[in-house]
Structure formats: structure tokens, C-alpha cells
Amino acid sequence: MKLKIAVLPGDGIGPEISREGVKVMQVIARKYGHEFSFQEALCGAAAIDAVGDPFPEETFRLCEASDAVLFSAVGDPRFDNNPNAKVRPEQGLLAMRKKLGLFANIRPITTFDCLVHNSPLKDEVVKGADFVCIRELTGGMYFGPKHEDDESAYDTNLYSRPEVERILRVAYDYAMKRNKHLTVVDKANVLASSRLWRKVAQQMEKDYPEVKTDYMYVDNASMRMIMEPRFFDVMVTENTFGDILTDEGSAVTGSMGLLPSASLGTSTPVFEPVHGSWPQAAGKNIANPLAQILSAAMLLENFGLMDEAASVRQAVQASLDQHVRTPEIQVPGGAHYGTVEVGSWIAQYIEQN
Ligand code: IPM
Ligand code: MN
């Protein structure tokens, strides 16, 4: 298969993990006889510094003309504590999501048995937890009408019926492919926008009689997720709740560095880690490349390359089993492996197995 892949390394640890993702894709292409081409473009603070725009037109055009985007991370501390900054790196990510129509963000929360001890939760609570959070990505407070001055400010949690319908459709399709259990997470006891979600879901439920649909308030869901993460199979929620709940999900798996995601919509799909740019670690060769490498596996699956993706996942599992791990998940007394070493080990494993 021929695939044209836009590579957006972004900021902080982004470029380091990006290289490992590309390395793994290249070895897959060689092994399975595919033709993957990679073209890099600017995004985030790197793009602000270079051209004054966190998602330059040129980057957008490359993304549009590509089959997939392999995205890493954006964000820079120079902007974080400056509420007066006119442009922010995160706007680049948001612009990309909006312009590519990426309304469905698929975030699998999968635990690895050999890493359950890494979670702050009890092993018996976490073991076997495996669910998917489907986060709406182009609506809600992130994109609704806003106002900001020194005396007052607001964000509007606006959703239209078609926006809710299309994301619920994605969620139901996932539930059908998994254990047929969907939890709709909202705050319908308080928010009008949530009541629309619930109304639409209750109507759509009838189209999927095989799926058991639960409705859960987001405060309750955030508790349930750490009390009983195995309860969940597929969870669907609005943009802001999904942002918060998936960070909480990373605590279930034990490391933020393990969570990949796929953002799908009306144009080119984007594959990106859930974690951010971790600027403090930039250049230190300590960032975990697994979230990026697993995002590459999701990319392969998106194009039906199931054996290829399975081979990536198997290599990731082997690296964990053999304690080829970055410091934050390494076993006590285990050898030191950096970002590059973990990526290279995985690439070599794929080549040889
Ligand atoms: C995420 C991130 C982004 C978000 C930030 C960087 C804008 O936290 O992808 O979860 O809030 O969506
Ligand atoms: Mn987030």
C-alpha cells in the first residue's frame, strides 16, 4: 500500500517521539512491502517561532493532501503563564482539529498486565481494565462563542443535534465491535447541552438494540473510572469532559506515556499521543515513545493493515516484557533505556520477528 504521511513533531518531546514513530513505520513498510512517504511540517510553538502561526497554511495544505497525519505534541512553557499571549501553541492543535473536521477522538485506555503495579490504584482494581473513550473533538466549549476581557469572560458549550448524532454513531459502531456496552457521560442534571446529548442518545439507542446503553453523570463517571475501571467498555462524551476523563484514564494504565489516539472526521485522519509536550524532558532522551508508536499502530489499523499493526503491538509488548522501558515505567534496578533505545529495540524486534 502507498501512504503519504504528514509528520508534525511539534514541541518539547514531540520531535524525539516523532522520530521513533517514523522509525517503526519505516520498518513496517520494508517488512511488508509498502510504500510510505513522510513529509514533515511545522506546528505549535515551533511554527509560531518560525512563521508566527501555530498551524500555518502550508502545514494545513500538506495535511489535506496526505493520507494520514502522525502528530506528536504541542505546548511551550513560554506561553503557559502568560494570559496575555496573543497566539498559543495549543491553537495550532485546535485549528488542525477544526480545519480537518476531526470530530471523533478515539482514546483507548488499555492496561498492560505487566504494568499494573505502575498505577497508583490497587492491582486488583486495574488488572484487565480495557475501555475506549470516544471524545467529541470539534464542538462544545473549545469552539463555542467566547468572550474575554479583564472584567468578565465566558465560553459557550454549544452543541447541535447533527454534531451529537455523528459522534454517537461512531460510539455505537465501536460498541458493536467490542462488548456492546456504551456509557454516555454527561451532566444532564445541570447542563442544557447535556440534556440534548441524552435526548439524542435515547432516540438512537433504539437503532442499536444489541448495545446496552448506560447514562452516567460526569462527576460519577470520574469516580467510577478509578473505583471500577473494568465497568467501562465504550464511553462517549463531549469535548471538555473527554479531555479531563482521558487524563484520568492514564492514571489507570500507569503512565501518560502509553496512551495513543486517533482523530477521525471528514478529511485526513490524525494519529497522536494523548500526552502533551513535556517541555522539562525535551532533549533528555527520557520520554516514552510508546504512545506515539501505538498511535502509529492505530494509523495502520485505520487503513486495514491489521497484521502490520499486530506486529507493532507485539513488539511493544515484548519490549515491556523484556524490561526495555523508559525510566518512568522501568522496574527497580532495570537497565536505562532512552527514547531512542526503546524505539530502535522495537524496530529491530519487528524486523526480526
Ligand atoms: C489533549 C490536550 C489538548 C486538549 C490541548 C493541548 C489543547 O490536552 O489533546 O487532550 O485540551 O484537547
Ligand atoms: Mn488533554
In the three-class reduction of DSSP (H, G, I as helix; E, B as strand; rest coil), residue 119 is classed as coil
How far is the C-alpha of 113 from the C-alpha of 303, rounded, in Å? 28
pLDDT of 251 higher than 90? no
Q: Share the mean pLDDT of the chain.
A: 96
Cβ neighbours around 58 below 10 Å, total: 13
Asked whether residue 262 carries a pLDDT value surpassing 90, the answer given is yes
The pTM of the full predicted model, rounded to 2 decimals, is 0.95
Name which of 248, 253, 242 is nearest 316 in CA terms. Answer: 253
From atom 5 of ligand 1, which residue's Cα is the shortest distance away? 90
Which of 69, 79, 91, 93 best tests ligand 1's pocket when mutated (most atoms within 8 Å of CB)?
Answer: 93
Is 233 part of the annotated catalytic residue set?
A: no
3-state secondary structure of 266: coil
**How many angstroms from the chain centroid is the CA of residue 58?**
24
pLDDT tens digits for 141-183?
999 999 999 999 999 999 999 999 999 999 999 999 999 999 9
Could you tell me the distance, in angstroms and rounded to a whole number, from the CA of residue 243 to the centre of ligand 2?
4
* Ligand 1 contact, 243 CB (< 6 A): yes
Interval 264-317: pLDDT, tens: 999 999 999 999 999 999 999 999 999 999 999 999 999 999 999 999 999 999
Q: pLDDT tens across 274-286, in order?
A: 999 999 999 999 9
Q: Which of 80, 113, 207, 219 is catalytic?
A: 219
Q: What are phi and psi of 320, to 5 degrees?
A: -70, -45
Tell me the average pLDDT across 65-69: 98
Whether the pLDDT of residue 80 is over 90: the answer is: no
pLDDT at 72: 98
**Confidence at 250, pLDDT banded by 50, 70, 90:** confident
The yes-or-no verdict on residue 62 having pLDDT over 90 is yes
The predicted pLDDT at position 76 comes to 95
Catalytic pick among 76, 186, 243, 337: 243
Residue nearest to atom 10 of ligand 1 (CA): 243
CA-nearest residue for atom 6, ligand 1, is 90
Q: Is there a contact between 194 and 187 (Cβ–Cβ < 8 Å)?
A: yes
Q: Whose CA is nearest to atom 12 of ligand 1?
A: 243
State the catalytic residue, choosing from 187, 208, 233, 349.
187
Q: From CA 85, how far away is CA 147, in angstroms rounded? A: 16
**What backbone phi and psi angles, to 5 degrees, belong to 194?**
-65, -35
pLDDT band at 231 (very low <50, low <70, confident <90, very high): very high
- Phi, psi angles (nearest 5°) of residue 35: -115, 95
Specify the residue with its C-alpha closest to ligand 1, atom 7.
Answer: 90
- Any atom of ligand 1 within 6 Å of the Cβ of 93: yes
pLDDT surpassing 90 at residue 188: yes
d(CA 228, CA 157): 29
Ligand 2 center from residue 352 Cα (angstroms): 36
Q: Mean per-residue pLDDT for 200-209?
A: 97
96 grid coordinates = 488542525
Contacts of 233 (CB under 8 A, 6+ apart): 131, 132, 175, 178, 179, 180, 181, 182, 183
Give me the percent of the chain exceeding a pLDDT of 70.
100
Measuring CA to CA, how many Å separate 270 from each of 35, 41, 72, 243? Answer: 19, 14, 10, 17
Ligand 1 and 29: CB distance under 6 A = no
Would the CB of 136 count as within 6 Å of ligand 1? no
Q: Domain segments of the chain: what residues?
A: 1-102+265-353, 110-260
Nearest to 293 by CA among 27, 89, 3, 10: 27
What are 102-127's pLDDT values in tens digits?
Answer: 999 999 999 999 998 888 999 999 99
pLDDT band, residue 51 (cuts 50/70/90): very high
Reduce the secondary structure of 187-253 to three states and give it as a string.
CCCCCHHHHHHHHHHHHHHHHCCCCEEEEEEHHHHHHHHHHCHHHCCEEEECHHHHHHHHHHHHHHH
Using a 6 Å cutoff on CB, does residue 90 contact ligand 1?
yes
CB count within 10 Å of CB 90 equals: 19
Q: How far is the CA of 277 from the centre of ligand 1 (A)?
A: 10
The pLDDT, as a whole number, for residue 255 is: 82
What does the pLDDT read at residue 86? 86
Q: Is 243 a catalytic residue?
A: yes
Look up 247 and say whether it is catalytic.
Answer: yes
Our mutation pick for probing the ligand 1 site, out of 71, 243, 246, counting the most ligand atoms within 8 A of Cβ, is: 243
* CATH superfamily ID and name for 1-102+265-353: Isopropylmalate Dehydrogenase (3.40.718.10)
Cα 248 to ligand 2 centroid, rounded to whole Å:
10
Give the distance (Å) from ligand 1 centre to CA of residue 263: 12
Class level of CATH domain 110-260:
alpha beta
Residue 257 has pLDDT above 90, yes or no: no
**Crossing angle between the packed helical segments 306-321 and 339-352, to the nearest 10 degrees:** 120
